[in-house]
Structure 1
Amino acid sequence: MRVPPLPADRWDEDVDDALRVMLPRRLRNPESASNALSTLARHPALTKAFLTLNVHLLFRSPLPARLREIAILRVAHLRDCVYEWNHHREAARTEGITDDEIAGVARGEAADAVDQLILRTVDELEEKSNLSDATWDGLCAHLDEHQRMDLIFTIGTYNTLAAAFNTFGTRSEYER
Structure 2
Amino acid sequence: MSVEPLPQDIDPESRCRLPLPDRDELDKDAQKAFDSRANPKGGSLAGLRGPGGIRLHSPELSRGLRPANIRLRDPDVIDARTSELAILITAREHDCQFEWAAHEAESKKEGVSDEVVEIIRHRRPPTGLPEPDAALIIFGRELFGDHRVTPETYARLAALFDRRTLVDLVNLMGMYAMTVASLIAFDAQLPEGTPPGLPPR
TM over 0.5: yes
In the other structure, the counterpart of 2:97 is 82
In the other structure, the counterpart of 1:136 is 154
Q: Distance in 2 between matches of 1:121 and 1:53?
A: 22
Tell me if structure 2 keeps the 8 A contact 1:81–1:162: yes
- Indicate whether 1:112 and 2:127 are aligned: no
Q: Structure 1 residues 40 and 77, CA, compared in 2 at 3 Å: closer, same or farther?
A: same
Q: Structure 1 residues 161 and 29, CA, compared in 2 at 3 Å: closer, same or farther?
A: closer
In the other structure, the counterpart of 2:140 is 122
- Indicate whether 1:145 and 2:170 are aligned: no
Map 1:26-175 to 2 at 5 A: 28=36, 30-32=38-40, 34=47, 35-36=49-50, 37-59=52-74, 62-108=77-123, 109-110=125-126, 111-173=129-191, 175=194
Q: Distance in 1 between matches of 2:83 and 2:149?
A: 17
In the other structure, the counterpart of 2:9 is none
Q: CA-to-partner distance for each residue in 1:80-110, whole Å, 9 max, x for gaps?
A: 1111101111220220223332111123344
Structure 1 position 124, deviation (Å): 1.2
- Cα root mean square deviation, aligned: 2.4
Unaligned runs of 5+ in 1: 21-26
What secondary structure does 1:124 align onto? helix
Larger-gyration structure (1/2):
2
Structure 1 position 9, deviation (Å): 4.5
Pairs aligned (count) = 169
Structure 1 position 145, deviation (Å): 0.9
Q: Structure 1 residues 167 and 61, CA, compared in 2 at 3 Å: closer, same or farther?
A: farther
Q: Distance in 2 between matches of 1:67 and 1:82?
A: 20
Q: Structure 1 residues 44 and 6, CA, compared in 2 at 3 Å: closer, same or farther?
A: same
Which structure has more relative contact order (CA 8 Å, sep 6+)? It is 1
Q: Structure 1 residues 105 and 47, CA, compared in 2 at 3 Å: closer, same or farther?
A: same
